[in-house]
Amino acid sequence: MSESTKYNAAEVEPRWQQVWAEADIYRAEDSSDKPKFYALEMFPYPSGRIHMGHVRNYAMGDVVARYKKAQGFEVLHPMGWDSFGMPAENAAIATDGHPKDWTYNNIDEMRAPMQRLGFALDWSREFATSDVAYYKTQQQIFLKFWENDLVYRKTAKVNWDPVDNTVLANEQVIDGKGWRSGATVEQRDMDQWFFKITNYAEELLEGLDGLDRWPEKVRTMQANWIGKSEGLQMRFEWAVPNGEKRPLVENYPLSGDVYTNLELDWHDDFTTALNNHPDGIEVFTTRPDTLFGASFVAISPDHPIAKNMFETTARVEDFILECQKIGTSEEAIAQAPKLGFDTGLLVQHPFDESITLPVWIANFVLMGYGTGAVFGCPAHDQRDLDFARKYGLPVTPVVLPEGEDAATYDVGTEAYTGEGKLFNSSFLNGLNKSKGIKTAIHKISEMGLGEGVTQYRLRDWGVSRQRYWGCPIPVIKCESCGSQPVPEDQLPVELPYDINFDKPGNPLDRHPTWKTEGVTCPKCGEAAERETDTLDTFADSSWYFAAFGGSLDQDGNLDWEAASKWLPVDQYVGGVEHAVLHLLYARFFTRGLRDCGLLDLPSGEPFAGLFTQGMVTHAVYTDEDGDYVLPEDVIEDGNQLLRIGTKSIVTKGDVIKMSKSKKNVVDPDEIIKGYGADVARWFVLSDSPPERDVEWTESGVIGAWRFSKKVWNVVSATTATDGPLSVATDAKGDALELRKLAHRAMENITAGIEAFRFNTSVAQIYELTNALNKYKGQDAARLEALGILIRAIAPFMPHLAEECWAKLGGEGLVYHAPWPEVDSKMLVDDTITLPLQVNGKRRGELNIAKDLPKDEIEKLAMADEGVQRAIGDGTVRKVIIVPGRIVNIVAS
């Protein structure tokens, strides 16, 4: 083969990319008559480099986008940048630069390699979330949400880093210390803005049922996150004292210390509690059936009653401070030993006047869930049991498991939470769990002490961040009028460029003029201050898909009608790490936008189909000094690995997600240079199922590269010239076999793409290519099969497909070519191979006519040599013939 006919990706790929760009073929038309298809991948953060994870993510979306285009859909497949966030600020601090310059330089650096990958993207709709036009629109949305009662302000606990002077997200707190400063993080109450996502708790939960093209896993995670539970909210009224002090539990361990001789002024505490909370203590429970097993009431250290006592009683203060020392990480809290403090207060049991229950402050009760107070039923709740055993509180079983005797039944160290008959429970005796719950709720309601309620674990979304590089919250704070929305005509509230990071904290807060100069209260006109907090960047990614649909321009114009037309996204592709936060926030946002009248999207669902792809992994290499070595710096020398340069022996370690810190990364741009974009794309889709991780290996890439050459060679070896849309209707013999194979392969390729099982489509493409490689004829059947092959490959390797299409004399671009139609007549064979089993083991096979009658089949089967040998002296008991499938002979 001469040089000129070799496939040269480095020359071919840029050439076609230019053709595509000049013809503007990826522009999506809002007004098209065709059915719409919106394909979207989670947009990237502009870190400065694209990595293999991006390649895999966008390659998957691109397969779907191109496939749907070939099927006649008007496809929207856009790209943009999730460009606000902390890394830009950190980089600015580290390099003495500016977050904005850093961000936009990175975007420019990433766009080019992304375009070299040849994705079918409509770049005309590109934007970055840090564009003024984008965050101006986001400020409008914030104000709309405010108008519609979806935004509010309240004081809430936050993680405060006292060195960096900023709030940290939970993920940024590592072992109770700030991830950057290393300082011990404090819990601090701060004024924060919140989005009322809890308004939609029920709708967000119910909506999950309709998302049948979402992974089960993600739906379950969201359902758990929303955490609906039904139960009873009721109050325990104070047990009025008779002037006598109740004996307190005197000796109890508190982090190793033993406190004795408590000197609580019980009476003062009681008076305070009674005055501030005259009705008693509200609790929430899902097990009101176990009320007769209650032996105490526990309140959170953050409960208002505990806080009152914190003010008045030194011992309570000690205790609460002790609780706070445990740390803030969820895991630390979950594993912390149970701590309790007996307040001396008493409440009345609702069903039995003679019973009073002590009120404890307990560290395992969370203020953020329910009412921040519970009743403890040790026999039937593990936490309550641990607590009761530690502090010597009574344990009264009230649910009798089947087979146990009421007289002798006792829980040991394991609380019983299962089904059973109620006992020791007065009017509830004999009822089962659900009946008992209903009856107890009914009774409490009758008594006016409470009612059945539904609780959610989901909390409102705190969105205030003390950060510069984010969307400014469009609010003016006035001393006399409070927080006021920035008037519409004053938007955008633009970020000032002249800031500095020489001190920790938020540069907006100490900017010489931005906060106050010319800022007046929109209501009273007096001098006022800007809100200096910016919005959580998760807000940015909660509606960007609508901005693509509505073609947001640089003046901030957004066509909400067009956005409504494109939504929902038909196929969304991204990492499973966003299963809860991003994907839940976006579902909230679209509902908010709908209810504010901006989006016409009755379901409120932004993503009709979701696919969560696996990661790209690579082995980690370490040299003799224990330093990580880049894969490209490792060479094979005999049976050992060496580091280029130092010749240090290299050890191959675990195969894990590519990460810069472990240096187990391969730069996509280097692969594009060495093998071409098509090869990179093909490889990340070829071997592993899309939802699983794929290991990047040199040999795998070379395999993909060989395959691309093979396709080109098959095309180059073709001299027939009728074009790739040929149909060989009168093919016979080998030609007919090739046709059948091509159509069967096509059937499976389509099914693979539809089911997001690209690896199986790839296998079918291999098979078809191998068959074509062997096929010697230069006829219509060859051309037909080639036409099918090239169009099937086009979504995966578009450059190679375009080049082959042109070489075969295809009209126009393969991008515009229709998806191959499968001729169903080609899928059925006249003769079939029928496996023969004896007692379920394969003993032979039969080549017979497809519609041979059963009795004929049985005769032939019984005559088979292998079958006879297997039966031997045995007697045939039964012959099972499944037409077209199998024959099984039962013999003994």
Residues of span 311-370 touching RNA by CB under 7 A: 330-331, 333-338, 363-370
Residue 422 is inside which H or E element, if any? Answer: strand 421-422
Contact positions with RNA (CB under 7 A) in 382-411 = 383, 386
Q: Which stretch binds RNA (CB under 7 A): 30-38, 391-399, 765-773, 813-821?
A: 765-773
Closest CB to RNA among residues 152, 766? 766
Smallest separation, CB 643 to RNA (Å): 21
Smallest separation, CB 283 to RNA (Å): 7
Closest CB to RNA among residues 338, 565? 338
The 3-state secondary structure of 526-552, one letter per residue: CECEECCCEECHHHHCCCHHHHHHCCC
The verdict on 744 binding RNA (CB under 7 A) reads no
The residues with which 455 forms a beta bridge, in sequence order, are 229
The verdict on 237 binding RNA (CB under 7 A) reads no
Question: In Å, what is the CA distance from 821 to each residue of 29, 580, 812?
Answer: 26, 40, 18
Closest CB to RNA among residues 625, 830? 830
Closest CB to RNA among residues 825, 878? 878
Closest CB to RNA among residues 619, 826? 619
Contact positions with RNA (CB under 7 A) in 188-227 = 216-217, 220-221, 224-225, 227
State the Cα–Cα distance between residues 802 and 822, nearest whole angstrom. 21
Smallest separation, CB 714 to RNA (Å): 9
Amino acid at 124: S
The verdict on 534 binding RNA (CB under 7 A) reads no
The residues with which 650 forms a beta bridge, in sequence order, are 641
Closest CB to RNA among residues 460, 533? 460
Cα 154–chain centre separation: 28
State the Cα–Cα distance between residues 704 and 85, nearest whole angstrom. 37
Size of the site for RNA (CB under 7 A): 86
Residue 110 is inside which H or E element, if any? Answer: helix 99-116
Smallest separation, CB 286 to RNA (Å): 4
Closest CB to RNA among residues 273, 362? 362
Closest CB to RNA among residues 97, 689? 689
- How are the residues of the chain apportioned to helix, strand and coil, as percentages rounded to the nearest 5? 40, 20, 40
Short-list 262, 307, 265, 300, CA closest to 283: 300
State the Cα–Cα distance between residues 530 and 509, nearest whole angstrom. 9
- Which residue of 669, 760, 807, 862 would you call a contact of RNA, by CB under 7 A? 760
Closest CB to RNA among residues 334, 407? 334
As given in the structure block, the two tokens for residue 587 are: 């579902």
State the Cα–Cα distance between residues 763 and 276, nearest whole angstrom. 72
The verdict on 662 binding RNA (CB under 7 A) reads no
Residues 6+ apart with CB under 8 A from 164: 178, 180, 181, 183, 504, 505
Amino acid at 191: D
Q: Which stretch binds RNA (CB under 7 A): 342-350, 389-397, 470-478, 698-706?
A: 698-706
Q: Which stretch binds RNA (CB under 7 A): 10-18, 43-51, 267-275, 837-845?
A: 837-845
- Which residue of 776, 840, 851, 873 would you call a contact of RNA, by CB under 7 A? 840
- Which residue of 404, 839, 858, 862 would you call a contact of RNA, by CB under 7 A? 839
The verdict on 767 binding RNA (CB under 7 A) reads yes
- Which residue of 34, 660, 692, 850 would you call a contact of RNA, by CB under 7 A? 692
The residues with which 166 forms a beta bridge, in sequence order, are 161
Closest CB to RNA among residues 149, 698? 698
Closest CB to RNA among residues 546, 738? 738
Kindly report the backbone phi and psi dihedral angles of residue 178, in degrees, each rounded to the nearest multiple of 5, phi listed first: -65, 135
Smallest separation, CB 234 to RNA (Å): 11
Closest CB to RNA among residues 134, 675? 675
The verdict on 878 binding RNA (CB under 7 A) reads yes
Smallest separation, CB 383 to RNA (Å): 4
Smallest separation, CB 27 to RNA (Å): 35
Closest CB to RNA among residues 672, 704? 704
3-state secondary structure of 214: coil
As given in the structure block, the two tokens for residue 525 are: 């006109």
As given in the structure block, the two tokens for residue 758 are: 């690209």
- Which residue of 596, 725, 806, 886 would you call a contact of RNA, by CB under 7 A? 886
The verdict on 837 binding RNA (CB under 7 A) reads yes
Q: Which stretch binds RNA (CB under 7 A): 185-193, 497-505, 809-817, 866-874?
A: 866-874
Smallest separation, CB 23 to RNA (Å): 33
Short-list 713, 722, 711, CA closest to 781: 722
Question: In Å, what is the CA distance from 479 to each residue of 485, 526, 775?
Answer: 14, 9, 84
Contact positions with RNA (CB under 7 A) in 546-605 = 576-577, 579-580
- Which residue of 71, 229, 439, 646 would you call a contact of RNA, by CB under 7 A? 229
The verdict on 870 binding RNA (CB under 7 A) reads yes
What would the DSSP string read from start to end of 757-819? -HHHHHHHHHHHHHHHHH----SHHHHHHHHHHHHHHTTTSHHHHHHHHHHTT-SS-GGGSPP
Closest CB to RNA among residues 533, 678? 678
As given in the structure block, the two tokens for residue 99 are: 């977050």
Smallest separation, CB 790 to RNA (Å): 18
Contact positions with RNA (CB under 7 A) in 772-791 = 773-774
The residues with which 177 forms a beta bridge, in sequence order, are 174, 184
Smallest separation, CB 812 to RNA (Å): 30
List the end-to-end C-alpha distance of the chain, in Å, as a whole number: 63
H helices present in 375-415, as ranges: 382-391
The verdict on 888 binding RNA (CB under 7 A) reads yes
Torsion of CA 515, 554, 595, 32, to 10 degrees: 180
Contact positions with RNA (CB under 7 A) in 704-723 = 706, 709-710
Q: How many CB atoms lie within 10 A of CB 846?
A: 18
Cα 272–chain centre separation: 47
Q: Which stretch binds RNA (CB under 7 A): 273-281, 533-541, 564-572, 769-777?
A: 769-777
Smallest separation, CB 45 to RNA (Å): 19
Contact positions with RNA (CB under 7 A) in 73-132 = none
Smallest separation, CB 229 to RNA (Å): 4
Kindly report the backbone phi and psi dihedral angles of residue 729, in degrees, each rounded to the nearest multiple of 5, phi listed first: -65, -30
As given in the structure block, the two tokens for residue 528 are: 């006022």
Q: Which stretch binds RNA (CB under 7 A): 70-78, 95-103, 157-165, 701-709?
A: 701-709
Short-list 408, 440, 463, 727, CA closest to 585: 463
**Do 639 and 34 meet the contact criterion of CB atoms below 8 Å apart?**
no
The verdict on 833 binding RNA (CB under 7 A) reads yes
Cα 663–chain centre separation: 26
Contact positions with RNA (CB under 7 A) in 267-306 = 284-287, 300
Kindly report the backbone phi and psi dihedral angles of residue 141, in degrees, each rounded to the nearest multiple of 5, phi listed first: -65, -45
Q: Which stretch binds RNA (CB under 7 A): 155-163, 438-446, 498-506, 770-778?
A: 770-778
The verdict on 644 binding RNA (CB under 7 A) reads no
State the Cα–Cα distance between residues 580 and 223, nearest whole angstrom. 9
